[in-house]
């Protein structure tokens, strides 16, 4: 609880109870919000001393499908808020444990939960061995085609559902779709629709005007962080509106929002800005070589993803607060995994995909030959990691119970159902 409370310092105090309320809902929800707790725990585990650019919050929901600039759908890691330099084993341990925890949440048998974690690790090891044998550039350029991944699935019903989601994602512009959900037209000026407490403008008009002015300066800083050819693209759009937006589990309470831009012919563009705080890895691994945490996140995403968002950039808030932010597109044909619908066979298929994606990401900053040689060619490595995953899932349940007890005792406040 001390680690969670420390991790909430500096967040919007009125939103922190929503964070705790979401984490209370289940041990799996707790795990998603407790990256700081696990980073602390991992610092006491053995490691080889080989570091990579790590995701830092590598659990099974932080993977999914999204569109590349070439408008192809790929499968990859999609959240890099905690990205930093750290032991490669830490990402893999967190990923493996997440499969045991998710399997338990779905009511799967203990053996099936452990098997999903085991398969994620095996996929990581086997793909790292494959990368070690490939030409460097071939390995660097490889992407994971989402359509082929779905077609290879073993559950026909889930396969049909995912294929339908892919067709829908490709059939319509993500930004047009988001405009109909998030915005409305007020005369000639489009405006983001308020849906408190999750999406909201400042109720004080004077403060909202000040926020708008700050946002315009932040946009200018953001555009300056882009490559020159991206700046030319952004010049096609004018800034129209900005609102705060509560997102995820671990990010609740941080300064996050969505900005609406409109092109000269009326096309909308939604950009999400998220506060970039120090990575949860930094107390144990040292700070990454970036003065700006937004730049750290962007670097991690550009390096680890096969095809990063064309609009990735960073900016700084008010000169008084000096909060760091990174900026990306909002839901560009994003397809989230439906973990709650996965039976044991589905979970194993998905685990193999996540292990592959993590190996693909790690080999961009780590030496695939060295990592492959360390893991070897037998199942000893998978067995050890799967055993850890089961033990950590037990620990996570105890930690979740501690949060529930702290709320009931009045030590912290939680708002549930939001």
pLDDT at 214: 81
Beta carbons of 234 and 263 less than 8 angstroms apart? no
Rounded Cα distance, 400 and 168, in Å = 37
Render 242-269 in DSSP notation, one character per residue: EEEE--SSTTTTS-EEEEEEEETTS-EE
118 and 221 together in one domain: no
Looking at the fold, whether 42 and 109 belong to one and the same domain comes out as yes
Is the pTM above the cut of 0.85? yes
Residues spanned by the domain of 229:
174-329
Whether residues 109 and 165 share a domain: the answer is yes
- Position 253 scores a pLDDT of 85
In order along the chain (418 residues), what is the average pLDDT of each group of 10 residues?
Answer: 94 92 96 97 96 98 86 90 97 98 98 98 98 96 91 80 77 68 79 87 65 83 94 93 83 88 90 94 94 96 91 86 89 81 94 98 97 97 98 98 97 92
pLDDT at 334: 76
The three-state secondary structure class of 418 is coil
Q: Where are the alpha helices (DSSP H) in 134-259?
A: 136-141, 146-151, 156-171, 174-182, 205-225, 228-234
CB 415 within 8 A of CB 17: yes
**Is there a single domain that holds both residue 315 and residue 183?**
yes
- Are 247 and 109 members of one domain? no
Domain boundary among 300, 329, 358: 329
Q: What is the per-residue DSSP string for 298-362?
A: HHHHHHHSSS--TT-EEEE--TTT--EEEEEES-SS-B---GGG--HHHHHHHHHHHHHHHHHHH
355 near 91, Cβ under 8 Å? no
Residue 67 lies in a domain: yes
> Are 187 and 308 members of one domain?
yes
Residues 127 and 180 in one domain: no
| Number of domains, the chain | 2
Do 21 and 80 fall into the same domain? yes
Last residue of a domain, one of 272, 303, 329: 329
DSSP H/E element including 270: strand 268-275
User: Same domain for 182 and 166?
Assistant: no
Q: Is residue 417 part of a domain?
A: no
How far from the centroid of its chain's Cα atoms is residue 231's Cα?
25
Q: At residue 388, what are phi and psi to the nearest 5 degrees? A: -60, -45
Is residue 258 in some structural domain? Answer: yes
- End-to-end C-alpha distance for the chain, whole angstroms: 21
Q: What is the predicted pLDDT for the residue at 174?
A: 62
Cβ atoms of 351 and 116 closer than 8 Å: yes
Are 139 and 31 contained in the same domain?
A: yes
For residue 414, tell me if it sits in a domain. no
Q: What is the CA radius of gyration of the chain?
A: 21
**What is the model's pLDDT at position 319?**
66
| Residue that is last in its domain, among 329, 359, 386 | 329
Look at the block and give the residue holding tokens 């044991």. 344
């Amino acid at each position: 609880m001390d680690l969670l409370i420390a991790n909430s310092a500096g967040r919007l105090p009125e939103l922190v109870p929503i964070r705790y309320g979401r984490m209370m809902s289940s041990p799996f929800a707790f795990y998603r919000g407790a990256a700081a707790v696990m980073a602390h725990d991992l610092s006491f585990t053995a490691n080889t001393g080989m570091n990579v650019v790590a995701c830092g919050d590598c659990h099974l929901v932080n993977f999914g499908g999204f569109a590349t600039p070439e408008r192809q759908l790929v499968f990859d890691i999609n959240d890099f808020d905690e990205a930093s330099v750290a032991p490669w084993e830490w990402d893999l341990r967190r990923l493996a444990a997440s499969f045991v925890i998710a399997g338990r949440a779905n009511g799967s048998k203990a053996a099936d939960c452990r098997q999903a974690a085991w398969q994620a690790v095996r996929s990581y090891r086997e793909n790292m061995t494959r990368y070690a044998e490939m030409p460097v550039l071939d390995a660097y350029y490889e992407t994971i085609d989402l359509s082929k991944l779905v077609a290879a699935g073993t559950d026909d019903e889930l396969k049909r559902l995912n294929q339908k989601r892919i067709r829908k994602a490709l059939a319509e512009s993500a930004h047009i779709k988001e405009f109909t959900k998030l915005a409305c037209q007020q005369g000639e000026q489009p405006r983001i629709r308020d849906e408190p407490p999750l999406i909201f403008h400042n109720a004080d008009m004077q403060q909202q005007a000040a926020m708008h002015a700050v946002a315009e300066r932040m946009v200018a800083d953001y555009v300056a962080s882009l490559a020159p050819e991206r700046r030319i693209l952004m010049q096609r759009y004018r800034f129209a509106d900005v609102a705060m937006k509560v997102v995820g589990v671990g990010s609740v309470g941080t300064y996050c929002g969505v900005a609406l831009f409109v092109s000269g012919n009326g096309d909308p563009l939604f950009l999400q800005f998220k506060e970039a705080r120090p990575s949860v890895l930094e107390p144990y691994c040292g700070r990454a070589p970036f003065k700006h945490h937004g730049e750290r996140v962007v670097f991690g995403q550009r390096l680890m993803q096969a095809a990063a968002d064309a609009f990735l950039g960073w900016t700084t808030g008010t000169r008084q607060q000096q909060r760091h932010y990174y900026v990306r597109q909002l839901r560009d044909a994003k397809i989230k995994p439906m973990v709650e619908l996965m039976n044991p066979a589905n979970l194993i298929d998905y685990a193999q995909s996540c292990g592959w994606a993590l190996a693909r990401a790690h080999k961009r900053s780590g030496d695939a030959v060295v990592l492959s040689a360390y893991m070897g060619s037998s199942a000893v490595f998978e067995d050890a990691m799967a055993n850890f995953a089961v033990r950590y899932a037990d620990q996570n349940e105890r930690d979740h119970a501690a949060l529930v007890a702290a709320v009931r005792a009045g030590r912290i406040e939680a708002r549930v159902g939001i």
